[in-house]
Amino acid sequence: MTAFALKDIAEFVPILAQGALVTIEVFVCGLIVATALGLLWALLRVSGVPALAGFSKALINTIRGIPILVQLFFIYFVLPDVGIQMTAFQAGFIGLGFAYSCYMAEVFRGGIEAVDPGQVEAAKSLGMSQAMTLWRVVLPQAFKIALPPYGNTCIMLIKDTSQASIITVTELTFQSKVIAASTFKNAEVFTLVALFYLLLCIPLIMVVGRLEKRFGRS
């Protein structure tokens, strides 16, 4: 690498770092929305109430059937026509959070349904209510089962934040596009951006691995 390339790196890294910060913000906000809503949809789906389960199933399948990019376009460009205005950042994390909630719902549902039904029957025979069974017996075990796919989905989410660049959220990918368009140094910029994403993802992967070791199935 020539000294000239090092000069470019010194110039680009601060701008990309700002973008990385926004990426993390979108990721965290989106993750909170996705986890909360995902848990809700999953519980609705296994609730046993046909109306709720049907609604949840329909929602999950519809949202999973539309590309996240298209959903982001909708939220940012189309909703204002019906009066729902929000900033790019809000549209970004709400859009990603909502889309990912449907994938999370399936992850949670898989965990819940994988818990041995015998446990549920045993809890019932002990006189536990459905809510208590869920809280005390099912969810703790479902958590362990769902942890690996949940972690996997988190890692996917952090990279999918790059899609928010298309609705002008100033995250990492967006910043790289702007730098590349004005300096034409595509090789340097996009290599740096790839490294940045790796730097963001690898700690996440390690954290998920640690959690699995601690809480997961032995």
Q: Which residues bind another protein (CB under 8 A)?
A: 77, 80, 85, 87, 166, 168, 174, 177-178, 180-182, 184, 186
2 or 182, CB closer to another protein?
182
Residues 6+ away with beta carbon under 8 Å from 133:
120, 123, 124
Residue 43's nearest CA partner among 33, 61, 56 is 56
Please, what sign has the CA dihedral across residues 82, 83, 87, 93?
Answer: negative
CB of 11 to another protein, least distance (A): 14
Q: Which two tokens stand for residue 29?
A: 């906000």
CB of 187 to another protein, least distance (A): 10
62 or 186, CB closer to another protein?
186
87 or 119, CB closer to another protein?
87
61 or 186, CB closer to another protein?
186
Q: How far apart are CA 150 and CA 46, in angstroms?
A: 18
Q: Which residue has the tokens 């109430």?
A: 49
Contact assessment for residue 108 and residue 56, using Cβ atoms and an 8 Å cutoff: no
CB of 205 to another protein, least distance (A): 31
CB of 123 to another protein, least distance (A): 52
